[in-house]
Amino acid sequence: MLRQIAFLVVFAWLALGSARAAIWPEEFFGYKRITVSQAAAENPAVWEEYGFEEGETARYRLEGKEFTATAWRFADSTGAMAVFEWQQPLEGRPSELTELALEWDDGAYFSHGNYIFRFDGYRPTEEQVVGMLLVTPMLEQSPLPTWVAFVPEENRIRGTERFVVGPVGLETFEPRVPPSVAGFHYGVEAQFAEYRSPKGKLKLGVFSYPTPHIARERLAEFRMLPDVIVKRSGPLVAVVFGPADSDEAEKLLAKVNYRYNITWDEFSIPYQPTIVEIVLTAFLFIGGLLLAALLLGGLFGGLKFWRWRRQEVPEDPMIMLHLEDR
């Protein structure tokens, strides 16, 4: 109960400040905002492709303590996830603040919905993050791409992940693949990452297409690229670039396996009673009606008799026809 009351108080504080600032309020859990400025994109072309809309940095102070908070807003959750992977600080350790979150001794970096947040000089608690998200303006919480779960995690080098949604990002992170080969007009998305192996690093790219048929068509285009090993699994096309050892590349590709999740709704025939059950039900219904009639008749007769005994109801007079006068 106390926690709910605290959330309501926090909501009121932040709502008051949010009316005057684009993202960050004037007060953050007791800290007063002393400066606010726009947070520019480091690579405008790539950020624009990810759907970057606005960024803001605020500085807060309380009793001589200061910290900096930065927020970046994107058009959807996918763009925020892509930049989160790209810009993640290597000193961060996994955190439970949100689904995508890192933290360190005096800071945190996390993504939720179409936002990325970074705190330097202050590490918020889970309750504070919940309260902050309640009043975050224009928060969009569409689901993240599910197919990235099929990208291998074993031996992946953290900080090398790059999520690509268009030709600008592809040219930036993996120029060996021409945009025409990837086929972005099909709505393809791609995930790149580097992996450790006994023979050196391996770079893997997984391209997700809307259907297995499109992936099968693009597979021939990828196989024409020099110095690559390619595999298709369902709507996914996996590519290892310039492998130092073909056997290790094959082992890595073998871990990319798309699994279909099929939901089968069977038609259930409604229950049909037998003849015996129908007859028994009819007799029970008739018996119930007879019993109800007996009870109501007994109740009415008993009430009539009780009132007659108390002379509340006079005896019915005899009706005389006087036929002798006719």
Q: Is residue 269 part of a domain?
A: no
User: Do residue 187 and residue 87 come from a single domain?
Assistant: no
User: Domain boundary at 82, 101, 134, which?
Assistant: 134
User: Do residue 197 and residue 296 come from a single domain?
Assistant: no
What gap in Å lies between CA 198 and CA 176, rounded to an integer? Answer: 24
| Per-residue model confidence as pLDDT tens for the chain (326 residues) | 445 445 444 444 444 444 445 899 999 999 999 999 999 888 999 999 999 999 999 999 999 899 999 999 999 999 999 999 999 999 999 999 999 999 999 999 999 999 999 999 999 999 999 999 998 999 999 999 999 999 999 999 999 999 999 999 999 999 999 999 999 999 999 999 999 999 999 999 999 999 999 999 999 999 999 999 999 999 999 999 999 899 999 999 999 999 876 656 665 667 677 888 888 888 888 888 888 888 888 887 777 777 766 665 555 555 666 666 55
User: Do residue 183 and residue 242 come from a single domain?
Assistant: yes
Q: Is residue 140 part of a domain?
A: no
User: Do residue 17 and residue 119 come from a single domain?
Assistant: yes
User: Do residue 172 and residue 280 come from a single domain?
Assistant: no
Q: Is the pTM of this model over 0.75?
A: no
How many independent structural domains does the chain possess? 3
Q: Is residue 174 part of a domain?
A: yes
Alpha helix locations (H) across the chain? 2-18, 44-49, 77-87, 126-134, 167-173, 179-182, 212-223, 246-253, 275-309
Q: Is residue 222 part of a domain?
A: yes
User: Do residue 280 and residue 231 come from a single domain?
Assistant: no
Domain of residue 222: give its range: 147-253
Q: Is residue 262 part of a domain?
A: no
User: Domain boundary at 82, 102, 134, which?
Assistant: 134
Q: What is the pLDDT of residues 109-152, one digit of tens each?
A: 999 999 999 999 999 999 999 999 998 999 999 999 999 999 99
Q: Is residue 321 part of a domain?
A: no
User: Do residue 203 and residue 110 come from a single domain?
Assistant: no
User: Do residue 103 and residue 169 come from a single domain?
Assistant: no
User: Do residue 44 and residue 110 come from a single domain?
Assistant: yes
User: Do residue 130 and residue 157 come from a single domain?
Assistant: no
User: Do residue 89 and residue 155 come from a single domain?
Assistant: no
Crossing angle of helices 2-18 and 126-134, in 10° steps, is: 50
Q: Is residue 204 part of a domain?
A: yes
User: Do residue 202 and residue 180 come from a single domain?
Assistant: yes
What gap in Å lies between CA 37 and CA 54, rounded to an integer? Answer: 11
Looking at this protein, which amino acid is placed at residue 55? Answer: G
User: Domain boundary at 106, 134, 162, which?
Assistant: 134
Q: Is residue 224 part of a domain?
A: yes
